[in-house]
Amino acid sequence: MTFRIRQLSTADYSSVISVIDQWWGGRQMADLLPRLFFEHFTDTSFAAERDGQLAGFLAGFISQSRPGEAYIHFVGVDPAQRGSGVGRLLYEAFFEAAEARGCVLVRAVTSPVNRGSVAFHQRMGFQLEPGDAQVDGIPVFSGYGGPGGDRVRFIRSLRASERP
Q: What is the contact surface with a second copy in residues (CB under 8 A)?
A: 14, 17-18, 30-32, 34-36, 39-44, 61-66, 69, 71, 73, 143-147
Least gap, CB of 51 to a second copy (angstroms)? 25
Q: Cα(123)–Cα(141) distance, rounded to whole angstroms? A: 21
Task: Indicate the residue among 2 and 65 with the shorter CB distance to a second copy.
Answer: 65
The DSSP secondary-structure symbol of 85 reads S
Minimum Å gap between C-beta 38 and a second copy is 10
Q: How far is the CB of 40 from a second copy (least distance, A)?
A: 4
In angstroms, give the least distance from the CB of 42 to a second copy: 5
Rank residues 7 and 88 by Cβ distance to a second copy and give the closer one. 7
One-letter amino acid at 75 equals V
Residue 151 and residue 111: Cα distance in Å, rounded? 5
Find, among 72, 74, 91, the residue nearest to 27 by Cα: 74
Neighbours of 60 (CB within 10 A): 26
Of the two residues 35 and 159, which places its CB atom closer to a second copy in the complex?
A: 35
**3-class secondary structure for 57-99?**
EEEEEECCCCCCEEEEEEEEECHHHCCCCHHHHHHHHHHHHHH
